[in-house]
Structure 1
């Protein structure tokens, strides 16, 4: 091997090592979101919203869900994640509180309480629901999505809700992963 071939081979080997040194961390950075746990872990978290004594029986109240959001590589601390409607049931009823997602099962718009406070409406495509979450017209494909609720063991129990999102336009309640 002459000197020129030796330098050519050395340049190729050195170039390959430099490319490898750059490619491995770049690949690890790009594939990192695939290794992170998804929103399924967040779906198991109950959010404390309000004390039970602050809810009036039969009167729906809306509460925002604020949590840390993670979008691939970026973490957004304390961002609005959605909203829920809580309806306290009469004394002795089980469950004591019913929680509904404030996201319309039709196309995901925000569900509001109607002016008469006797039903829910979605202003985007006129979806309507009674206070039990049942559809009042044929626009929504299913009732309002009920969420799991638990009460803390305090003297004045805290209402805690497991907030999650569901696929829109589906006839059954399918959680988003």
Structure 2
């Protein structure tokens, strides 16, 4: 599998897949942490803090990173056209999910409703977790984009070589 004129080995692709899986597990665990954090809030005078990303389960979208990483590893080990297209599709889905999740996190961090004094600490900690998750989105975006570009290039070259071989066979038969 290669990008442009350079070659990326299958072991490097496996490493990209493993990093995607680790990021996905991290996001799922952070969502679980936020679940425990926000479920433990005490109803106060101003209500409880339920941010947009928590309501939508944005960190739980890390499951797409895990699935995409697994397909990326599988595609690196078994380079069939079907596996490459599946891994490419899932990585494009990861790019879209990353952009949406980062946008929602930025909107959440830009707007802060006041909460009761008892829940302020939990809300502040939840916002810090959202900030930390915001820093991991560019990493996932970069990994998914890198794999997508490389697999598109590889699929394009593979198709061109198939077309050339058919042309050569037809010209040799005449």
TM-score, normalised by the number of residues in structure 1: 0.20
TM-score, normalised by the number of residues in structure 2: 0.20
